[in-house]
Structure 1
Amino acid sequence: MAFIDWRKQQGTESFVEEVFLAYFEDKSQHYAPSTLWSIYSMLKSKMIANHNIDISRYSRLLTFVKTKNVGFQSKQASVFTPEEIKKFLLEAPDSEFLVIKAVTVFGISGGCRGEEICNVMLGHVKDTGSEIVVRIPESKTYTAKLFPILSKTSVEIIRRYIALRPPNSPTDRFFILQRGNRCFGQPIGKNTIAQMPRKVAAFLNYCELKNYLIF
Protein backbone atom coordinates (compact mmCIF):
# COMPACT_ATOMS: atom_id res chain seq x y z
CA MET A 1 0.00 0.00 0.00
CA ALA A 2 1.40 3.40 -0.99
CA PHE A 3 0.42 4.99 2.32
CA ILE A 4 2.19 2.31 4.36
CA ASP A 5 5.37 2.73 2.30
CA TRP A 6 5.17 6.52 2.64
CA ARG A 7 4.66 6.21 6.39
CA LYS A 8 7.78 4.06 6.74
CA GLN A 9 9.77 6.60 4.75
CA GLN A 10 8.68 9.25 7.24
CA GLY A 11 9.95 7.12 10.11
CA THR A 12 6.61 6.59 11.83
CA GLU A 13 4.26 3.70 12.45
CA SER A 14 1.42 5.82 13.76
CA PHE A 15 -2.10 5.96 12.33
CA VAL A 16 -3.05 9.23 14.00
CA GLU A 17 -4.89 11.88 12.01
CA GLU A 18 -1.83 14.12 11.72
CA VAL A 19 0.00 11.41 9.76
CA PHE A 20 -2.85 11.11 7.28
CA LEU A 21 -3.03 14.89 6.94
CA ALA A 22 0.67 15.04 6.13
CA TYR A 23 0.25 12.24 3.59
CA PHE A 24 -2.60 13.96 1.76
CA GLU A 25 -0.84 17.31 1.91
CA ASP A 26 2.06 15.65 0.10
CA LYS A 27 -0.26 14.00 -2.45
CA SER A 28 -2.07 17.29 -3.10
CA GLN A 29 1.16 18.70 -4.54
CA HIS A 30 1.17 16.07 -7.28
CA TYR A 31 -2.44 15.12 -8.02
CA ALA A 32 -5.63 16.83 -9.12
CA PRO A 33 -8.36 17.19 -6.46
CA SER A 34 -10.50 14.56 -8.18
CA THR A 35 -7.64 12.07 -7.99
CA LEU A 36 -7.02 13.04 -4.37
CA TRP A 37 -10.60 12.12 -3.52
CA SER A 38 -10.17 8.75 -5.24
CA ILE A 39 -7.03 8.10 -3.21
CA TYR A 40 -8.93 8.98 -0.04
CA SER A 41 -11.81 6.61 -0.86
CA MET A 42 -9.48 3.74 -1.70
CA LEU A 43 -7.33 4.29 1.39
CA LYS A 44 -10.43 4.45 3.61
CA SER A 45 -11.55 1.02 2.38
CA LYS A 46 -8.11 -0.52 2.82
CA MET A 47 -7.62 0.91 6.29
CA ILE A 48 -10.94 -0.54 7.46
CA ALA A 49 -10.23 -3.93 5.89
CA ASN A 50 -6.59 -4.27 6.93
CA HIS A 51 -6.28 -2.24 10.14
CA ASN A 52 -9.84 -1.73 11.40
CA ILE A 53 -9.35 2.04 11.24
CA ASP A 54 -12.09 4.29 9.89
CA ILE A 55 -10.40 7.45 8.61
CA SER A 56 -13.79 9.00 7.81
CA ARG A 57 -13.90 9.81 11.54
CA TYR A 58 -10.90 12.11 11.07
CA SER A 59 -12.86 15.32 10.57
CA ARG A 60 -9.88 17.54 9.76
CA LEU A 61 -8.67 15.08 7.13
CA LEU A 62 -12.12 14.87 5.54
CA THR A 63 -12.41 18.66 5.52
CA PHE A 64 -8.98 18.96 3.89
CA VAL A 65 -9.86 16.58 1.05
CA LYS A 66 -13.27 18.18 0.50
CA THR A 67 -11.80 21.69 0.50
CA LYS A 68 -9.38 20.73 -2.25
CA ASN A 69 -12.35 19.82 -4.44
CA VAL A 70 -14.22 23.08 -3.90
CA GLY A 71 -14.29 25.06 -7.13
CA PHE A 72 -12.29 22.44 -9.00
CA GLN A 73 -13.33 21.78 -12.59
CA SER A 74 -11.71 19.04 -14.60
CA LYS A 75 -10.38 20.10 -17.96
CA GLN A 76 -12.87 19.16 -20.63
CA ALA A 77 -11.87 18.11 -24.10
CA SER A 78 -13.00 20.34 -26.95
CA VAL A 79 -14.90 18.97 -29.92
CA PHE A 80 -14.45 20.13 -33.49
CA THR A 81 -17.48 21.77 -35.08
CA PRO A 82 -18.99 20.35 -38.30
CA GLU A 83 -17.63 23.38 -40.17
CA GLU A 84 -14.12 22.71 -38.88
CA ILE A 85 -14.30 19.04 -39.86
CA LYS A 86 -15.56 20.00 -43.33
CA LYS A 87 -12.71 22.47 -43.76
CA PHE A 88 -10.17 19.82 -42.76
CA LEU A 89 -11.60 17.14 -45.06
CA LEU A 90 -11.76 19.49 -48.06
CA GLU A 91 -8.59 21.52 -47.64
CA ALA A 92 -5.98 19.36 -45.89
CA PRO A 93 -3.54 17.89 -48.46
CA ASP A 94 -3.85 14.15 -49.06
CA SER A 95 -0.08 13.81 -49.18
CA GLU A 96 0.06 14.45 -45.44
CA PHE A 97 -3.43 13.88 -44.08
CA LEU A 98 -5.24 11.25 -46.18
CA VAL A 99 -5.17 8.50 -43.56
CA ILE A 100 -6.23 10.99 -40.87
CA LYS A 101 -9.11 12.09 -43.10
CA ALA A 102 -10.18 8.45 -43.55
CA VAL A 103 -10.02 7.81 -39.80
CA THR A 104 -12.04 10.98 -39.21
CA VAL A 105 -14.71 9.79 -41.65
CA PHE A 106 -14.99 6.47 -39.79
CA GLY A 107 -15.14 8.21 -36.43
CA ILE A 108 -17.94 10.53 -37.51
CA SER A 109 -19.95 8.20 -39.76
CA GLY A 110 -19.93 5.23 -37.42
CA GLY A 111 -19.41 6.81 -34.03
CA CYS A 112 -16.40 4.53 -33.74
CA ARG A 113 -14.00 4.59 -30.83
CA GLY A 114 -10.28 4.63 -31.42
CA GLU A 115 -9.94 0.94 -30.57
CA GLU A 116 -12.71 -0.01 -33.00
CA ILE A 117 -11.09 2.03 -35.77
CA CYS A 118 -7.75 0.42 -35.01
CA ASN A 119 -9.24 -3.08 -35.46
CA VAL A 120 -11.08 -2.50 -38.76
CA MET A 121 -10.01 -5.08 -41.36
CA LEU A 122 -10.09 -4.85 -45.16
CA GLY A 123 -12.95 -7.32 -45.29
CA HIS A 124 -15.06 -5.06 -43.08
CA VAL A 125 -15.21 -2.32 -45.74
CA LYS A 126 -17.27 -2.69 -48.93
CA ASP A 127 -17.66 -0.22 -51.78
CA THR A 128 -21.13 -0.73 -53.28
CA GLY A 129 -20.59 1.84 -56.00
CA SER A 130 -22.89 4.42 -54.44
CA GLU A 131 -21.69 4.24 -50.84
CA ILE A 132 -19.16 2.65 -48.53
CA VAL A 133 -20.59 0.10 -46.10
CA VAL A 134 -18.62 -0.80 -42.98
CA ARG A 135 -19.40 -3.80 -40.83
CA ILE A 136 -17.31 -4.33 -37.70
CA PRO A 137 -18.12 -7.81 -36.32
CA GLU A 138 -17.25 -7.02 -32.71
CA SER A 139 -17.28 -3.76 -30.83
CA LYS A 140 -16.93 -2.78 -27.19
CA THR A 141 -20.59 -3.68 -26.68
CA TYR A 142 -19.97 -7.19 -28.11
CA THR A 143 -22.40 -6.53 -30.96
CA ALA A 144 -21.69 -5.99 -34.63
CA LYS A 145 -21.54 -2.40 -35.82
CA LEU A 146 -22.88 -1.66 -39.30
CA PHE A 147 -22.90 1.80 -40.84
CA PRO A 148 -22.83 3.45 -44.27
CA ILE A 149 -20.57 6.26 -45.43
CA LEU A 150 -22.83 8.32 -47.66
CA SER A 151 -21.55 11.82 -48.35
CA LYS A 152 -19.73 12.28 -51.64
CA THR A 153 -16.72 13.89 -49.95
CA SER A 154 -16.37 11.09 -47.41
CA VAL A 155 -16.82 8.31 -49.98
CA GLU A 156 -14.15 9.85 -52.21
CA ILE A 157 -11.75 10.12 -49.27
CA ILE A 158 -12.15 6.42 -48.44
CA ARG A 159 -11.71 5.44 -52.09
CA ARG A 160 -8.54 7.52 -52.40
CA TYR A 161 -7.19 5.96 -49.23
CA ILE A 162 -7.95 2.42 -50.45
CA ALA A 163 -6.19 3.21 -53.73
CA LEU A 164 -3.14 4.38 -51.79
CA ARG A 165 -2.83 1.09 -49.90
CA PRO A 166 -0.26 -1.27 -51.46
CA PRO A 167 -1.98 -4.34 -52.99
CA ASN A 168 0.61 -6.66 -51.42
CA SER A 169 0.35 -5.27 -47.89
CA PRO A 170 1.40 -7.89 -45.29
CA THR A 171 -1.52 -6.93 -43.03
CA ASP A 172 -5.28 -7.06 -43.48
CA ARG A 173 -5.76 -4.20 -41.05
CA PHE A 174 -7.54 -1.42 -42.91
CA PHE A 175 -5.63 1.52 -41.47
CA ILE A 176 -1.89 1.48 -42.03
CA LEU A 177 0.82 4.12 -41.82
CA GLN A 178 1.11 6.81 -44.46
CA ARG A 179 4.25 8.71 -45.39
CA GLY A 180 3.77 11.23 -48.14
CA ASN A 181 1.95 9.69 -51.08
CA ARG A 182 2.61 6.13 -49.96
CA CYS A 183 1.17 3.74 -47.41
CA PHE A 184 3.23 1.08 -45.69
CA GLY A 185 2.24 -2.29 -44.27
CA GLN A 186 2.52 -1.26 -40.64
CA PRO A 187 -0.87 -1.12 -38.88
CA ILE A 188 -1.81 2.08 -37.10
CA GLY A 189 -2.09 1.63 -33.34
CA LYS A 190 -4.41 3.17 -30.77
CA ASN A 191 -1.82 5.70 -29.62
CA THR A 192 -1.33 6.99 -33.16
CA ILE A 193 -5.09 7.34 -33.62
CA ALA A 194 -5.35 9.16 -30.29
CA GLN A 195 -2.85 11.77 -31.53
CA MET A 196 -4.71 12.49 -34.77
CA PRO A 197 -7.03 15.20 -33.37
CA ARG A 198 -3.93 17.20 -32.43
CA LYS A 199 -2.76 17.06 -36.04
CA VAL A 200 -6.17 18.25 -37.21
CA ALA A 201 -5.96 21.12 -34.72
CA ALA A 202 -2.46 21.95 -35.97
CA PHE A 203 -3.72 22.10 -39.56
CA LEU A 204 -6.49 24.46 -38.44
CA ASN A 205 -3.83 26.64 -36.78
CA TYR A 206 -5.18 26.26 -33.26
CA CYS A 207 -2.85 27.25 -30.46
CA GLU A 208 -4.21 24.66 -28.00
CA LEU A 209 -3.51 21.22 -29.42
CA LYS A 210 -3.85 18.90 -26.45
CA ASN A 211 -7.55 18.51 -25.76
CA TYR A 212 -9.48 18.06 -28.97
CA LEU A 213 -11.70 15.12 -29.81
CA ILE A 214 -13.08 13.85 -33.10
CA PHE A 215 -14.26 10.43 -31.97
Structure 2
Amino acid sequence: MIKVGLILGIAGACRTDELVNLTVDDIEDVGSSLIVKIRNTKTKIPRIFVVTDVGKMLELFRKYLSLRPPPSSISAFFCTTKQENVVRSQLAKIPWEKFPSVVASYLKLPDVACYTGHCLRRSSATLLADAGVDITTIKRHAGWKSTTVAEGYVENSIERPKLLIRF
Protein backbone atom coordinates (compact mmCIF):
# COMPACT_ATOMS: atom_id res chain seq x y z
CA MET A 1 0.00 0.00 0.00
CA ILE A 2 2.81 2.43 0.85
CA LYS A 3 4.52 1.81 -2.49
CA VAL A 4 1.27 2.41 -4.40
CA GLY A 5 0.66 5.55 -2.32
CA LEU A 6 4.13 6.84 -3.19
CA ILE A 7 3.62 6.10 -6.87
CA LEU A 8 0.26 7.86 -7.04
CA GLY A 9 1.25 10.65 -4.66
CA ILE A 10 4.40 11.63 -6.52
CA ALA A 11 3.05 10.97 -10.03
CA GLY A 12 0.05 13.19 -9.33
CA ALA A 13 1.50 15.73 -6.87
CA CYS A 14 -1.25 14.59 -4.50
CA ARG A 15 -2.14 16.03 -1.14
CA THR A 16 -2.69 13.48 1.61
CA ASP A 17 -6.44 14.13 1.67
CA GLU A 18 -6.58 13.53 -2.10
CA LEU A 19 -5.08 10.07 -1.54
CA VAL A 20 -7.47 9.37 1.33
CA ASN A 21 -10.44 10.37 -0.85
CA LEU A 22 -9.43 8.30 -3.90
CA THR A 23 -12.01 5.72 -4.86
CA VAL A 24 -11.73 2.63 -7.02
CA ASP A 25 -13.73 4.49 -9.70
CA ASP A 26 -11.13 7.29 -9.79
CA ILE A 27 -8.45 4.97 -11.19
CA GLU A 28 -8.76 3.33 -14.59
CA ASP A 29 -6.33 0.59 -15.60
CA VAL A 30 -5.98 0.80 -19.39
CA GLY A 31 -3.35 -1.92 -19.71
CA SER A 32 -0.13 -0.01 -20.33
CA SER A 33 -0.97 2.80 -17.90
CA LEU A 34 -3.32 4.08 -15.23
CA ILE A 35 -5.54 7.12 -15.65
CA VAL A 36 -6.11 8.73 -12.26
CA LYS A 37 -8.75 11.37 -11.59
CA ILE A 38 -8.43 13.58 -8.54
CA ARG A 39 -11.98 14.88 -8.17
CA ASN A 40 -11.95 16.53 -4.73
CA THR A 41 -9.13 19.07 -4.61
CA LYS A 42 -8.40 21.96 -2.29
CA THR A 43 -8.75 24.40 -5.21
CA LYS A 44 -11.98 22.75 -6.43
CA ILE A 45 -10.33 22.14 -9.82
CA PRO A 46 -10.24 18.40 -10.64
CA ARG A 47 -6.98 17.01 -12.04
CA ILE A 48 -6.13 13.98 -14.16
CA PHE A 49 -2.75 12.32 -14.45
CA VAL A 50 -1.33 9.18 -16.01
CA VAL A 51 0.96 6.60 -14.46
CA THR A 52 2.89 4.69 -17.12
CA ASP A 53 4.40 1.26 -16.69
CA VAL A 54 7.91 2.13 -15.54
CA GLY A 55 9.65 -0.60 -13.59
CA LYS A 56 7.10 -2.56 -11.61
CA MET A 57 4.70 0.29 -10.83
CA LEU A 58 1.65 -1.18 -12.53
CA GLU A 59 2.46 -4.63 -11.16
CA LEU A 60 2.47 -3.17 -7.63
CA PHE A 61 -0.80 -1.35 -8.32
CA ARG A 62 -2.47 -4.52 -9.59
CA LYS A 63 -1.18 -6.57 -6.67
CA TYR A 64 -2.58 -4.05 -4.19
CA LEU A 65 -5.89 -3.96 -6.08
CA SER A 66 -6.15 -7.76 -5.88
CA LEU A 67 -5.75 -7.60 -2.08
CA ARG A 68 -8.53 -5.04 -1.60
CA PRO A 69 -12.07 -6.07 -0.73
CA PRO A 70 -14.51 -5.92 -3.65
CA PRO A 71 -15.54 -2.34 -4.62
CA SER A 72 -19.13 -3.14 -3.65
CA SER A 73 -18.08 -3.43 0.00
CA ILE A 74 -15.96 -0.24 0.16
CA SER A 75 -15.35 2.32 -2.56
CA ALA A 76 -12.24 3.91 -0.98
CA PHE A 77 -9.15 2.87 -2.95
CA PHE A 78 -6.83 2.80 0.07
CA CYS A 79 -8.02 0.64 2.94
CA THR A 80 -6.47 -0.10 6.29
CA THR A 81 -4.28 -3.18 6.45
CA LYS A 82 -3.55 -5.70 9.13
CA GLN A 83 -0.41 -7.59 8.19
CA GLU A 84 -1.03 -8.92 4.65
CA ASN A 85 -4.84 -8.68 4.82
CA VAL A 86 -6.85 -5.67 3.76
CA VAL A 87 -9.47 -4.61 6.29
CA ARG A 88 -12.78 -3.18 5.11
CA SER A 89 -12.40 0.43 6.19
CA GLN A 90 -11.18 3.62 4.60
CA LEU A 91 -7.68 4.71 5.51
CA ALA A 92 -7.56 7.80 7.72
CA LYS A 93 -5.63 10.92 6.79
CA ILE A 94 -3.25 10.70 9.77
CA PRO A 95 -1.33 7.61 8.51
CA TRP A 96 -0.88 9.24 5.08
CA GLU A 97 0.69 12.29 6.66
CA LYS A 98 3.17 10.03 8.43
CA PHE A 99 3.98 7.44 5.81
CA PRO A 100 6.76 9.49 4.11
CA SER A 101 8.59 9.51 7.45
CA VAL A 102 8.24 5.71 7.55
CA VAL A 103 9.81 5.53 4.08
CA ALA A 104 12.55 7.99 5.10
CA SER A 105 13.30 5.85 8.16
CA TYR A 106 13.50 2.70 6.01
CA LEU A 107 15.92 4.52 3.67
CA LYS A 108 17.93 5.70 6.71
CA LEU A 109 17.56 9.36 5.75
CA PRO A 110 18.38 12.06 8.30
CA ASP A 111 15.67 14.12 10.04
CA VAL A 112 12.94 11.52 9.49
CA ALA A 113 10.32 13.71 11.20
CA CYS A 114 10.72 16.32 8.45
CA TYR A 115 9.18 13.97 5.89
CA THR A 116 5.43 14.60 5.82
CA GLY A 117 2.64 13.92 3.35
CA HIS A 118 3.50 17.21 1.68
CA CYS A 119 6.79 15.69 0.50
CA LEU A 120 4.85 14.00 -2.30
CA ARG A 121 3.91 17.34 -3.89
CA ARG A 122 7.45 18.70 -3.42
CA SER A 123 9.00 15.58 -4.93
CA SER A 124 6.63 15.68 -7.88
CA ALA A 125 7.39 19.34 -8.64
CA THR A 126 11.14 18.85 -8.23
CA LEU A 127 11.22 15.76 -10.45
CA LEU A 128 9.30 17.60 -13.15
CA ALA A 129 11.64 20.59 -12.93
CA ASP A 130 14.66 18.28 -13.10
CA ALA A 131 13.19 16.78 -16.26
CA GLY A 132 13.05 20.26 -17.81
CA VAL A 133 9.28 20.77 -17.54
CA ASP A 134 8.27 24.44 -17.64
CA ILE A 135 6.66 26.14 -14.65
CA THR A 136 3.29 26.54 -16.39
CA THR A 137 3.02 22.78 -16.86
CA ILE A 138 4.13 22.14 -13.28
CA LYS A 139 1.44 24.56 -12.05
CA ARG A 140 -1.24 22.84 -14.11
CA HIS A 141 -0.10 19.37 -13.03
CA ALA A 142 -0.31 20.14 -9.31
CA GLY A 143 -3.28 22.51 -9.51
CA TRP A 144 -1.40 25.62 -8.38
CA LYS A 145 -2.67 28.98 -9.61
CA SER A 146 0.34 30.98 -8.44
CA THR A 147 3.74 30.76 -10.10
CA THR A 148 5.36 31.84 -6.84
CA VAL A 149 3.73 28.96 -4.95
CA ALA A 150 4.77 26.47 -7.64
CA GLU A 151 8.35 27.74 -7.61
CA GLY A 152 8.40 27.34 -3.83
CA TYR A 153 7.75 23.62 -4.19
CA VAL A 154 10.71 23.02 -6.47
CA GLU A 155 13.41 21.97 -4.00
CA ASN A 156 17.06 22.27 -4.97
CA SER A 157 16.28 21.31 -8.54
CA ILE A 158 19.05 21.35 -11.09
CA GLU A 159 16.57 23.19 -13.29
CA ARG A 160 15.41 25.68 -10.61
CA PRO A 161 17.50 28.62 -11.92
CA LYS A 162 15.86 28.19 -15.35
CA LEU A 163 12.38 28.20 -13.77
CA LEU A 164 13.03 31.49 -12.04
CA ILE A 165 14.01 33.31 -15.25
CA ARG A 166 11.17 35.53 -16.44
CA PHE A 167 10.92 37.01 -19.90
TM-score band (shorter)?
0.5 to 0.7
Which whole-Å CA distance do the structure 2 matches of 1:113 and 1:136 have between them?
A: 10
Deviations 1:87-127 (A, max 9, x none): xxxxxxxxxxxx11111111111011101111001100111
Q: Contact (CA 8 Å) 1:177, 1:186: kept in 2 or not? A: yes
Alpha-carbon distance in structure 1 between the residues aligned to 2:71 and 2:78: 14
Partner of 1:175: 78
The C-alpha deviation readout for 1:175-195, integer Å capped at 9, x for no partner, is 111222211112111111001
Matched, 1:135 2:30: no
Secondary structure of the structure 2 residue equivalent to 1:146: strand
Q: Give the corresponding residue for 1:149.
A: 51
Distance in 2, Cα, partners of 1:146 & 1:186 = 25
Contact 1:169–1:185 (8 Å) recurs in 2: no
Give me the whole-angstrom Cα distance separating, in 1, the residues matched to 2:35 and 2:103: 25
- Identify the match of residue 115 of structure 1 among 9, 17, 21: 17
| Aligned length, in residue pairs | 117
Q: Distance in 1 between matches of 2:83 and 2:93?
A: 21
- State the one-letter code of the partner of 2:84: N
Say yes or no: does 1:208 pair with 2:92: no
**Cα distance between partner residues in 1 of 2:89 and 2:32:** 29
- Name stretches of at least 5 consecutive residues in structure 1 with no aligned partner: 1-98
Q: Which runs of 5+ in 2 are unaligned?
A: 121-167
Matches within 5 A, 1:36-185: 99-150=1-52, 151-167=54-70, 170-185=73-88
Aligned to 2:14, the other structure's residue is in SS state coil
Please name the residue that 2:147 is paired with.
Answer: none
Shift of 1:169: 6.5
Q: Which structure shows the higher helix fraction?
A: 1
Contact 1:173 1:187 in 2 (8 A): yes
Larger RCO (alpha carbons 8 Å, 6+ apart): 2
Identical-residue share of aligned pairs (%): 28
1:149 alignment partner AA = V
- Residue 56 of structure 2 aligns to a residue in which SS? helix
Which residue does 1:5 correspond to in 2?
none
How far off its partner does 1:202 sit? 1.8
TM-score, normalised by the number of residues in structure 1: 0.51
TM-score by length of 2: 0.65
**Contact 2:21–2:40 (Cα < 8 Å) also in 1:** no
Query: Considering only CA atoms, is the larger Rg found in Structure 1 or Structure 2?
Result: 1
